[in-house]
Amino acid sequence: MNFQDRYRFWSENSYFDEEIRQELGQVIEPQEIKDRFYTDLEFGTGGLRGIMAAGTNRMNKYVIRKVTQGLAECVCDQGPEGMKRGVVIAYDSRKYSPEFALEAALILARNGVKAYLFDALRPTPELSFAVRQLHALAGIVVTASHNPKAYNGYKLYWEDGGQVPPEHADQILARIKAREDWIGLEPMPLEAAKASGLLEIIGEEIDQLYLAQVLELALHPELDREKGGELRIIYTPLHGAGNILVRRALAELGFSSVTVVPEQELPDQEFTTVPYPNPEIPATFELARKYGTQIQADLLLATDPDADRLGVVLRDPQGDFTQLTGNQIGVLLTYYILSQKKALGILPGNATIIKTVASTDLADEVARYFHVRVENVLTGFKFIAEKEKEMEESGWGTFQFGFEESYGYLAGDFVRDKDAVIASVLLAEAAIYYQQVEGRNLFNVLESIYQQFGYYLEDQESLTLEGIQGKEEMAKIMDSLRQEEIRELGGTKIKKFDDYEQRIGKDSSTGLTYPLTLPRSNVLRFSFHGGGFVMVRPSGTEPKIKFYFSIKSNTLSEAEDTLHKIKADVMRRIARIRSV
């Protein structure tokens, strides 16, 4: 069927409910009809994400049914044992998230696959934990993470608690594509699913097991219990799934002086208090800053709707609030974990941290100082989780901490995705340790790290290039940067150039090449003499090309000046490439 036939089919067939058909009756613009029906919503390696509306290229319960049917068939391929192990399902606070989650559970039940459904919204990392804890074959989280309110998504996890591997994603996609007919995908009735044992509601029992593991990560639990109440924390879940478990984790560890931003405490499908619920942007901290000023808070924390990302604001020496970057949070946690484990005599000889190639090299310097190995992986937390699994299975390294610059962090071996609950606990513990034992705050600690290793300054730029023309422009930019022999950027000499698409690196001084071992990916990285880099890559989820800047200098002002020059040079080059 072409898009017009699909539109008519959805508009007229009684299989689709009245709400869907009425919505489509209001859609009269040909371009809008085409956009909704010209294709199916793309199923990527991690699942789906799209605008909630009627149509094959939108997020709605019928798309959920079709995708879940593909998953169910792949689970059934594993035989009775796989069907019995089943699938765990969690969801966030977005519009239709509970309904989509239940729809998925009942489609699984219809296929004879056991479904474990959380009784209320839960953090994405707890889903990862639950898959491992229940020995399930797969997991689903209905979430669009930190995206605007119009979006929802469907993330798939596999039996190790990590995001679904490409080979299984391909099998699921093949099953989805093989089904042309939307009719006949009826979910099992709720009561029948419960009565048959194919639907099991889970909740508090998993919470307790998960929290017990989170609290085990504390390095100074006695200090936390005795002095944690002296740390004044403002926390906002941004209307999302972190509200209960972040607060419980902090309270059970001893952090009793936690004030929750009341306007952002409860679920709100419209996210009315923020432009969009992303803890990276300063606007999400406006209310937290207000309450922080009132109580002279030491630390402001914000988690996104599915509680896998953490944003942090610190009080600086002048008494003002300063928001940290994802790189700064990652470095602080790296330094705290490694330094304390070394002091306690529990840092293993094969200790390893894992970070992405887009994240600051300052973490590499900190790790080397503590004689800890660093594994750099491609952008995306799934690569951190995959490397952790590889280390665990081979025994050649002991995972200590992992992070990416986009506000994702992980410690421990019981979750296989970024975890804002874990990060909140470790950040709070680091803050109380330095305050009570060393008489410093985290801002002072970060400054001392810069003084010891050099001032690293990071920034990002992105260009939105939509449609077919946008894809062509991105390809043109990447090809030009790949082919041009760039010796310096903004007056700073380049030491080496790594092309992850070709899997070849080149030393700019000698011209010698060397192999890159990471998987093939359309990423270019220019590393500078003396430290720092520029990295360029097209986004895998948005119509954007992203530019990552990391500068190392002896002083902050020098770093700022160098960053300004390099950014200006890069963006001039990009403008020139686009104009040709």
Query: What is 177-191 written as a DSSP string?
Result: HH----TT-PPPPHH
- Tell me the per-residue pLDDT of 223-265, one tens digit each, with 9 for 90 and over: 999 999 999 999 999 999 999 999 999 999 999 999 999 999 9
- The C-alpha atoms of residue 53 and residue 492 are separated, in whole angstroms, by 49
- Average pLDDT taken over every residue of the chain: 96
Residue 51 backbone dihedrals phi, psi, to 5 degrees: -75, 140
- Tell me the per-residue pLDDT of 195-210, one tens digit each, with 9 for 90 and over: 999 999 999 999 999 9
3-state SS, residue 400? strand
- The C-alpha atoms of residue 513 and residue 524 are separated, in whole angstroms, by 15
pLDDT of residue 129: 99
pLDDT of residue 81: 98
- The C-alpha atoms of residue 241 and residue 239 are separated, in whole angstroms, by 7
Cβ-contact 211, 248 below 8 angstroms: yes
Burial class (CB in 10 A: 0-12, 13-18, 19+), 31: exposed
- Tell me the per-residue pLDDT of 349-386, one tens digit each, with 9 for 90 and over: 999 999 999 999 999 999 999 999 999 999 999 999 99
- The C-alpha atoms of residue 173 and residue 176 are separated, in whole angstroms, by 5
> Does an H or E element contain 553, and which?
strand 544-553
Cβ-contact 139, 47 below 8 angstroms: no
Q: b or e along 489-505 (b: 16 or more beta carbons within 10 Å of the residue's beta carbon)?
A: bbebebbbbbbbeeeeb
Percent over 90 (pLDDT), the chain: 93
C-alpha pair distances (Å), 479 with each of 14, 180, 288, 472, 473: 50, 38, 44, 10, 10
Return the number of other C-beta atoms located less than 10 Å from residue 400's C-beta: 21
pLDDT of residue 100: 98
pLDDT of residue 32: 94
Stretch among 174-188, 215-229, 451-465 having the lowest mean pLDDT: 174-188
Cβ-contact 220, 340 below 8 angstroms: yes
Q: Which two tokens stand for residue 50?
A: 């799209």
Helix, strand and coil in the chain, % to nearest 5:
45, 20, 35
Q: Which two tokens stand for residue 162?
A: 């990590």
Amino acid (one-letter) located at 497: F
**Closest of 539, 526, 537 to residue 566, by C-alpha:** 526
Residues contacting residue 264 through CB under 8 Å, at least 6 positions apart: 236, 237, 238, 239, 273, 274, 287
Cβ-contact 238, 304 below 8 angstroms: yes
- The C-alpha atoms of residue 74 and residue 113 are separated, in whole angstroms, by 10
Give the pLDDT band (50/70/90) at residue 1. confident
- Tell me the per-residue pLDDT of 53-76, one tens digit each, with 9 for 90 and over: 999 999 999 999 999 999 999 999
pLDDT of residue 180: 79
pLDDT of residue 406: 95
- Number of Cα atoms under 13 Å in the Cβ half of residue 509: 5
Helix axis angle, 3-12 to 30-37, nearest 10°: 90
> Does an H or E element contain 33, and which?
helix 30-37
Q: Over 90: is that where the pLDDT of 464 sits?
A: yes
pLDDT of residue 113: 99
- The C-alpha atoms of residue 492 and residue 279 are separated, in whole angstroms, by 32
Give the pLDDT band (50/70/90) at residue 542. confident
Q: What is the mean pLDDT of the segment spanning 533-544?
A: 89
Query: What is 276-323 written as a DSSP string?
Result: S--TTSGGGGHHHHHHHHHHT-SEEEEE-TTS--EEEEEE-TTS-EEE
Q: Over 80: is that where the pLDDT of 407 sits?
A: yes
Degrees, nearest 5: CA angle 169-417-239: 105
3-state SS, residue 451? helix
pLDDT of residue 183: 81
What domains can you pick out in the chain, each with its CATH number? 39-202 (3.40.120.10), 210-453 (3.40.120.10), 457-579 (3.30.310.50)
Name the β-bridge partners of 376: 355
**Closest of 18, 103, 113, 8 to residue 62, by C-alpha:** 103
Cβ-contact 291, 297 below 8 angstroms: yes
DSSP H helical ranges for 96-202: 97-110, 124-133, 166-178, 190-195
User: What pTM was estimated for this model as a whole?
Assistant: 0.96
Q: What is the mean pLDDT of the segment spanning 167-173?
A: 93
C-alpha pair distances (Å), 96 with each of 59, 93, 248, 265: 10, 8, 26, 19
- Tell me the per-residue pLDDT of 327-347, one tens digit each, with 9 for 90 and over: 999 999 999 999 999 999 999
C-alpha pair distances (Å), 465 with each of 544, 545, 572, 579: 6, 7, 17, 14
Q: Which residues are catalytic?
A: 145
3-state SS, residue 74? helix
Q: Over 90: is that where the pLDDT of 501 sits?
A: yes
Name the β-bridge partners of 115: 87, 199
Residue 7 backbone dihedrals phi, psi, to 5 degrees: -60, -45
pLDDT of residue 493: 97
- The C-alpha atoms of residue 517 and residue 360 are separated, in whole angstroms, by 20
- The C-alpha atoms of residue 548 and residue 532 are separated, in whole angstroms, by 10
Q: What is the mean pLDDT of the segment spanning 180-192?
A: 90
Give the pLDDT band (50/70/90) at residue 184. confident
pLDDT of residue 163: 95
Amino acid (one-letter) located at 257: S
Give the pLDDT band (50/70/90) at residue 43. confident
Is the C-alpha dihedral spanning 277, 282, 283, 287 positive or negative? positive
Return the number of other C-beta atoms located less than 10 Å from residue 394's C-beta: 8
Give the pLDDT band (50/70/90) at residue 181. confident
- The C-alpha atoms of residue 86 and residue 109 are separated, in whole angstroms, by 9
Amino acid (one-letter) located at 334: T
- Tell me the per-residue pLDDT of 295-314, one tens digit each, with 9 for 90 and over: 999 999 999 999 999 999 99
